[in-house]
Amino acid sequence: MLRILSLSVRRLQAVKGIKRTLRTFEQWKHEVSQLKPSPQKSKKLLVIRLDDIGDYLLFRNSFAAYKTSRKWAGYEITLLGFTLWQELFEHTDNSLADKSIWLNKHEYFGNETYRKELWQRLRNEGFEVVVCPSRVRPLLLDDMCMLAAGADTNIASCNDFMYPDWNRASDKLYQQLYAQNTLCHEFLFNQAFASWACGVSLSLERPAFPGPTSNQPYFICFIGASFQSRRWTTERWIEFINLCKKDIPLEAVLAGGKNDIEIAAAIENATGVRNETGKVNLVAMTRLMANASAAVSNDTMASHLAASFNKPTVIITSGDNFYKFSAYKEAGITGVTTIYPEVFLKKWVQKKHQFFKGYVAVTNDIATIQASTVHEALKNSLAEPK
């Protein structure tokens, strides 16, 4: 009953949010129409990628196609990216673009001057082409920045938001749209879109991250996530780590962001594990993962980083957006085990194990996943030959 009530409240909030966003979108479109025109357009390509770290990790291998394809030969390529993963890009992927522009979302939504100056900067660059490769494209971010750039040609995927009104308003802004005909993992979608947008044929087996790796005697427990419904509970982590101490000959290492420090302290106090939560930046986190023997993570960026290093990986997920981010096995990517709550698995059985849209989890769903289930999954992952 509580689950049904929670979902009903979310739907009501979503309807209000859709209407509010569409009103803001119309207002901002008018503001963009008042920008000063660019002095001159030249062979410049803008790629807009403003989603989170995990999305970028599943995109970065496909991004290389823009630089190497014959279609965009001679174009200066600029990335408009999210400041959250700027240090990672500049450390690892700087060669994929000729220039980069970074957007701070807090400033963008909260500071009108910042937003308008960014829009005018994009307009002044004189881009000939804009490509928006995200399959879920926020109206007020990707689409507004595309309009601000004022390019002659705008390319994107048909928007895949769950709100049809947003998708219709978004898609009609573009001259070229990639039709999303199948539900698939985000890594595979990025390959397919890049192949279409660049006129190439990509065939990448799995996400891959550069640099040396090793298998030191520890495994990562990544306790953070952007939404509460994607966070396994503190009590479950404590129970899981104590089980691992009995028969897994690896040290557990806690990791997460600054918002996870309090939870990590509670787990550390209860288990005595090494705690790196909030202590390492994104680049240092990649090194920590590169040298781990395995990873257990909520459905967040760390799971994709672990898969990129081909580490035995266990993902604990509520089932939200499962076909995009957690269905690694179904995408043919080995070494990743995904643990779902029973309430989601029942729904998937009803769908005859076919991918489906629109599943919404509530906060308590992920808490029903037992520590013993995750513990057994980690043991099996470590035992599998690589």
Structure tokens given for 72: 């965009």
Place of tokens 């698995």: 345
Residues in Cβ contact with 68 at an 8 Å cutoff, skipping those fewer than 6 apart: 200
Contact 302, 222 (CB under 8 A): yes
CA distance 246 to 241: 9
| Residue 323: Cβ within 10 Å count | 20
Contact 134, 51 (CB under 8 A): yes
Residues in Cβ contact with 15 at an 8 Å cutoff, skipping those fewer than 6 apart: none
Burial 112-151 (b: 16+ CB within 10 A, else e): eeebbebbeebbebbbbbbbbbbbbbbbbbbbbbbbbbbb
Structure tokens given for 378: 């980690």
Alpha helix stretches (DSSP H) within 226-329: 234-247, 261-271, 282-290, 301-308, 322-325
Q: Which domains does the chain have, with CATH numbers?
A: 36-198 (3.40.50.2000), 218-383 (3.40.50.2000)
- Considering the entire predicted model, what is its pTM? 0.93
What does the pLDDT profile of the chain (386 residues) look like in tens digits? Answer: 544 545 444 554 555 667 889 999 999 999 999 999 988 888 999 999 999 999 999 999 999 999 999 999 999 999 999 999 999 999 999 999 999 999 999 999 999 999 999 999 999 999 999 999 999 999 999 999 999 999 999 999 999 988 888 899 999 999 999 997 789 999 999 999 999 999 999 999 999 999 999 999 999 999 999 888 899 999 999 999 999 999 999 999 999 999 999 999 999 999 999 999 999 999 999 999 999 999 999 999 999 999 999 999 999 999 999 999 999 999 999 999 999 999 999 999 999 999 999 898 888 999 999 999 999 999 999 998 76
User: What do you get for the CA distance between the two ends of the chain, in Å?
Assistant: 44
